[in-house]
Structure 1
Amino acid sequence: MAIRATDQIIHKAAWLYYTHGLRQDEVAKQLGISRASVAMYLRKARDTGIVTISTSTQLFSQDVLAREVEDAFGLDTVWVVSPERDGPDAAAEVPVVAASVFLELVERGQRIGVAWGRTVYSMADVMPFADLQDVTVVQLCGNLGAPYSYRPDQCTMEIARRLNAKGLNFYAPLVLSSERLARELRDEPVIREQLASVADCDLALYSIGTVDEDSHVVKCGAMSPSEVHALRDNGAAGVVAGQMIDRHGTLLDCDYNRRIISADLNSIRAIRRRMVVIQEDSKLEPLLAALAGGLCSHLVITAEMARRLLARAAKPSVRASA
């Protein structure tokens, strides 16, 4: 079942108030809402049974996992997807939950930045239709020529179609053949203006790619397996909007990144809500890199990934970089 963002804020208010012992005004300040709203959410938490004197953590273990991940990594909101009994596994449900969350985060008049990948396109494919004509959906990185449905332009335009919104594509390739060509293309007025406007987005949506032969940049022909393995040996830990990041979440200094047409990572960090969706439990290291680099504020993951993140957060070196 998809988890509503409004339910999550009720759970989070209750977690901060009852578990962390914050006053209602302190909860309001941390969540960016009014004190009256906090009082209303706490009342709803009691009325609906989210909070009881002795059994709240047992009844809502998945919500406890989400709150613990938020606390460990300083995230605004985390949604944890658990498999339902006799139903599909959690990974299969992630795009459904993420699509529901995304729709509740989008507001009229906003500008939304979207990257690419199978998870993002799977979200778009199950996303209900909405009428948000004054929303603009912006492609965060250049395009690929490979005939895959989860190309950057396809992800952007399908989400725009589902929202009945305006879609803005990058009419430039993701990877250029030389650094000089990439610099010249980034200097073109239309491309320069589009890249500069990324920081003005209100919400960004993307997943984090792996650095191996299963990576999208390999499958879509941007790199060969040997090239991506060489970058991994040189410190690449994940892929964000087509760009290689190291384990600290900073842009890797390499020829590949200098040939990329994509939103600057600082521009992505400047977006207030940075929604990351991780479907595969194998993406622990890339996700940790993105978290270390401040590239995520809102996160949708499986319960298994949540437990693995918490296990890593318990290590002093991870806590220091989170």
Structure 2
Amino acid sequence: MAIRPAEQLIHKAAWLYYAHGLRQDQVASQLNISRASVAMYLRKARETGIVNISTSTQLFTDDVMARRLEDALKLDAVWIAPENGHIPDPSTDIAVLAASVFLELVKKGDRIGVAWGRTVYTIADIMSYADLQDVTVVQLCGNLGAPYSYRPDQCTMEIARRLNAKGLNFYAPLVLSTEDLARALRAEPVIREQLAGIADCNLALFSVGTVDADSHVVKCGALNPDEMAALRGIGAAGVIAGQIINARGEALDCSYNRRVISAELGSLRAIEKRLMVVQEDSKFEPLLAALAGGLCTHLVVGANMAQRLLDHAGAMPQKAS
């Protein structure tokens, strides 16, 4: 049966929003309709089953490269988004797949730790709605100033909204001005309890950041480019939940980390399922650092990144058993 014109608009709106990551105002502009109409069409797409992203991961479960990568990296599960030449921004497919994977991993009663950044917020924005019981979404690190996009509290609360879950924000800054002030704030009962409770999470969702001028901790003002360059000089390799890690995936011994209010890496490692999503090929070295530190059990990447990881694993000397 042919699709009627009204249904075509619903399909087009859903495709542009969910598959290509356009904002609702951008969809409205492309289709020459109002933003209110876009919101209505997206709701109808979910209600009628036109959009059912949660089932799409079945397409990736038998991927040979993913199985090889799981073996090579000793991970519980890997999903690889194909590189589609006709898609202007392949990272959108990674985010769509990651949103599906995340929804499959969430169970009723779970406590979920969420980090921050463009990748996490994109996943939250693409994610289908679910109605899960007794789920709590926990912010993994302190917050940023109001002007910065993709703040930790925004990521936490948007995912909680999509899951119809309870959201717990961290009412503390990400970075303090002095180490003494940070130490005192961590000792406050409310903050101490929040930090201690992170290890009780069942699932974590995060990405890994770069340590260059494009790093989110530079763009948000936590560090300036010169300070980041200095940290690279002493071994900085990546950023996890606002903290700087070295190439072994350990917290870098530096004043910045001592001024950060964030989950300890040991607490993150204690979380059973740690879903890491990497969209950008520029994050290869930071991802290697996160993997070396055991900060990831489940991984979503694109095909190019997957091949680089396999090539790197093949070039590494085998450890003696």
TM-score band, normalised by shorter chain: 0.7 to 0.9
Contact 2:203 2:273 in 1 (8 A): yes
1:313–1:144 CA distance, 2 compared to 1 (3 A):
same
- What is aligned with 2:68? 68
Offset at residue 7 of structure 1 (A): 2.9
For residues 15-74 of structure 1, give each alpha carbon's deviation from its aligned partner in whole angstroms, at most 9, with x where no partner exists: xxxxxxxxxxxxxxxxxxxxxxxxxxxxxxxxxxxxxxxxxxxxxxxx111111111110
- What is aligned with 1:259? 259
State the alpha-carbon separation in 2 of the partners of residues 129 and 98 from structure 1. Answer: 14
Contact 2:209 2:240 in 1 (8 A): yes
After superposing the two structures, state which structure 1 stretch, 105-114 or 89-98, moved more.
89-98
State the alpha-carbon separation in 1 of the partners of residues 57 and 217 from structure 2. Answer: 36
State the alpha-carbon separation in 1 of the partners of residues 203 and 116 from structure 2. Answer: 15
- What is aligned with 2:79? 79
1:1-322 to 2 correspondence within 5 Å?
4=55, 7=58, 11=62, 63-84=63-84, 86-316=86-316, 320=319
1:98–1:10 CA distance, 2 compared to 1 (3 A):
closer
State the alpha-carbon separation in 1 of the partners of residues 265 and 225 from structure 2. Answer: 24
1:134–1:295 CA distance, 2 compared to 1 (3 A):
same
State the alpha-carbon separation in 1 of the partners of residues 226 and 141 from structure 2. Answer: 23
Contact 2:94 2:302 in 1 (8 A): yes
Contact 1:140 1:263 in 2 (8 A): yes
State the alpha-carbon separation in 1 of the partners of residues 120 and 319 from structure 2. Answer: 30
Offset at residue 243 of structure 1 (A): 0.3
Offset at residue 168 of structure 1 (A): 0.1
Where structure 2 has 5 or more consecutive residues not aligned to the other structure, the ranges are: 1-18, 20-52
State the alpha-carbon separation in 1 of the partners of residues 54 and 301 from structure 2. Answer: 12
State the alpha-carbon separation in 2 of the partners of residues 181 and 264 from structure 1. Answer: 17
Percent identical pairs in the alignment equals 67
1:5–1:273 CA distance, 2 compared to 1 (3 A):
farther
For the aligned residue pairs, the C-alpha RMSD in angstroms reads 1.8
State the alpha-carbon separation in 1 of the partners of residues 118 and 95 from structure 2. Answer: 10
- What is aligned with 2:42? none
When normalised by structure 2's length, the TM-score is 0.80
- What is aligned with 1:59? none
Alignment size in residue pairs: 269
Contact 2:210 2:238 in 1 (8 A): yes
1:276–1:193 CA distance, 2 compared to 1 (3 A):
same
Amino acid aligned to 2:219: K
Amino acid aligned to 1:234: I
After superposing the two structures, state which structure 1 stretch, 141-150 or 271-280, moved more.
141-150
State the alpha-carbon separation in 2 of the partners of residues 262 and 270 from structure 1. Answer: 15
Contact 1:96 1:127 in 2 (8 A): yes
State the alpha-carbon separation in 2 of the partners of residues 293 and 320 from structure 1. Answer: 16
Offset at residue 5 of structure 1 (A): 8.0
1:3–1:70 CA distance, 2 compared to 1 (3 A):
farther
Contact 1:5 1:104 in 2 (8 A): no
Contact 2:61 2:79 in 1 (8 A): no
Where structure 1 has 5 or more consecutive residues not aligned to the other structure, the ranges are: 12-62
State the alpha-carbon separation in 1 of the partners of residues 100 and 316 from structure 2. Answer: 35
1:272–1:219 CA distance, 2 compared to 1 (3 A):
same
